[in-house]
Structure 1
Amino acid sequence: MTHSFDPVAYNRDAWDREVENSNEWTKPVGPEVIARARAGDWSVVLIGYEPVPRDWFPAELAGADVLCLASGGGQQGPVLSAAGAAVTVLDNSPRQLDRDREVAAREGLSIHTVLGDMRDLSAFPDAGFDVVFNPVSNVFSPDLAPVWRESFRVLRPGGILMVGFMNPDVFLFDIPALEEREELIVRHRLPFSSLDLPDAERQSTYGTGPIEYSHSLTSQLGGQLAAGFTLTHFAEAPHHADATAQYMPSYFATRATKP
């Protein structure tokens, strides 16, 4: 990679390709999910297939202003909208945002979509949201401090930040050995980025997929605290689709509030 490499532009194109390749996180929810959400039977995920506990959300979701941060794909945003929230979805991928617009048009939902980098929320005013909902996506961001600062800024006092992220330890392992033989072979130093791999190896391992970055728990948890948040809840879950699930939680989730 050259010094002029733009990871945001690269990952935008990569996630557009993931939509075309029918990645599971790009498949919109169906009408039956929206119908249940309208009737009060709804759930969304931050990590893997684990529903977020309902008590992580405001007691009254109807009318709450929710920012689905780096959360395109027609999954979480439409469900929260059908449950009564006023939903804005920001995502780096135009095709992922198309998925949210598709569901909104099909179901008569009002969802505002914004194309952008999760580190830059300058499109939004201070204290404009009650909830920032950020499922596993900061693995595609080079740095996290701006994400936490901007999330804090756009939340109202008492607002809630919900985040799903990767356990950084999963990046220790050789990826072909893990995916092809289900072997956990320690290979990489942390923090790790797929940009650290030689071009040929990165292409053979990740193909045309997005660039990934591991982030330390200091960056994840400490970063939220440094931005001013108060952590209130923590959860973990095994990865839904790889061999690490036999040994360790690969997903973490946090709930934090703005005092």
Structure 2
Amino acid sequence: MTTMNQPDDSLVAHNRESWDRWVEDGDRWTVPVSAAEIAAARAGEWAIYLTEEKPAPRDWFPADLRGVDVLCLASGGGQQGPILAAAGANVTVFDNSPAQLRQDELVAHREELTIRTVQGDMRDLNAFADGSFDLIFHPTSNIFVPEVRPVWRECFRVLRPGGILMMGTLNPIEYCFDRVLMDAEGIFQLKYRLPYSDATDISAAERIKLNGPNAPYEFSHTLEDQIGGQLDAGFMLTGFFEARRDDPTTGRFFPTYIATRAVKPG
């Protein structure tokens, strides 16, 4: 594992520790894929997720992943990276959480896969030279940093011309509602103005009560920053889908997630 020497801040450090604890707790996004899933990926049968329940479309990927240089961005946990490596890609996994990266290293060792792991902040990819990758797979994770536009600028820089960026994120409207009423009674009462921030819109005590003591800080971002930010960075949008969370609250009324595919011209 490579660790970047980057300027840190308390939010990044807190979220790093939160995800490390979630690995210990066995959160679903920290559980490594099985040997059977790796065997299937080697045979060409695989699916990976930008959002919760809906796999990323296979036609968003190159038809043949062999030799494709892939960056799994903020995508540790021993899931997406090992699957893509088993499908033939040259995979680098970049994540803020050392414990998440160790899950990728565990699968790589167990399955004899070659995966590079790098620990750092997704807003600063100075570990990589310009034009290092053909594809970036960025599942729902930029909600854990306070600014998203730097992520898109860095993605554009490290992709080669013609390179693909796939990302998933929560629908910002998810953050508008009074969580206590929504979770306890299924009542959707508007409470928070967007863009929402765990760091400024609720107290530390409220955040712990709502999300638990180990939860990372979350930030809603605007669609202008999530989608417009990609366009402003230079990308061309080539794909979009929505997905619903399988739960009895928000999933009944609106798509919980959005995902995009974008290409660096050239």
TM above 0.5: yes
Paired AA for residue 105 in structure 2 = R
Q: Which runs of 4+ in 1 moved over 3 A?
A: none
| C-alpha distance in 1 between matches for 2:247 and 2:32 | 19
TM-score with structure 2 length normalisation? Answer: 0.94
Aligned to 1:74: 78
Is 1:6 matched with 2:18? Answer: no
Deviations along 1:177-217, one digit per CA (max 9) or x if unpaired, are: 22233332211111111122112111111222000000100
Structure 2 residue 91 is the aligned partner of structure 1 residue 90: no
| Counterpart secondary structure, 1:51 | coil
| Cα distance change, pair 5–111 in 1 and its aligned pair in 2 (3 A) | closer
Name the counterpart of 1:197: 202
What SS class does the counterpart of residue 50 from structure 2 fall into?
A: strand
Q: Is the 8 A contact 1:81 1:111 kept in 2?
A: yes
Task: Give 1:219's aligned amino acid.
Answer: D
1:233, 1:49 → 2: CA distance?
A: 18
Where do residues 1-259 of structure 1 align in structure 2 (5 Å cutoff)? 6-195=10-199, 196-207=201-212, 208-241=214-247, 243-259=249-265
Query: What one-letter code is carried by the residue in structure 2 that aligns with 1:202?
Result: R
Name the SS of the counterpart of 1:99 in structure 2. Answer: helix
| TM-score of the superposed pair, with normalisation by structure 1 | 0.96
SS of equivalent residue, structure 1 residue 9: helix
**2-structure distance, mates of 1:95, 1:253:** 26
CA distance in 2, matches of 1:204, 1:17: 17
Rate the CA distance shift 1:33–1:216 in 2: closer, same or farther, 3 A. Answer: same
Letter of the 2:225 partner, please give it. Answer: S
Cα contact 2:53–2:244 (8 A) shared by 1 = no
Q: CA RMSD in A?
A: 1.2
Separation of aligned partners in 2, 1:239 and 1:184 = 16
- Residue deviations 1:12-47 (CA, integer Å, cap 9, x gap): 001101111111100111000000000010110101
- 1:64 partner amino acid: V
How many aligned positions are there? 256
- Cα distance in 2 for partners of 1:34, 1:160 equals 23
Gap regions ≥5 residues in structure 1: none
- Structure 1 counterpart of 2:177, one-letter code: F
Which ranges in structure 2 are unaligned for 5 or more consecutive residues? 1-7
Deviations along 1:85-134, one digit per CA (max 9) or x if unpaired, are 00000000000001000100110000000000000000001101000000
Letter of the aligned partner of 1:174 in structure 2? Answer: D
| Alignment deviations for residues 60-103 of structure 1 (CA, whole Å, 9 cap, x no partner) | 21110000000000010000000000000000000000100010
Deviation, 1:242, is: 5.3
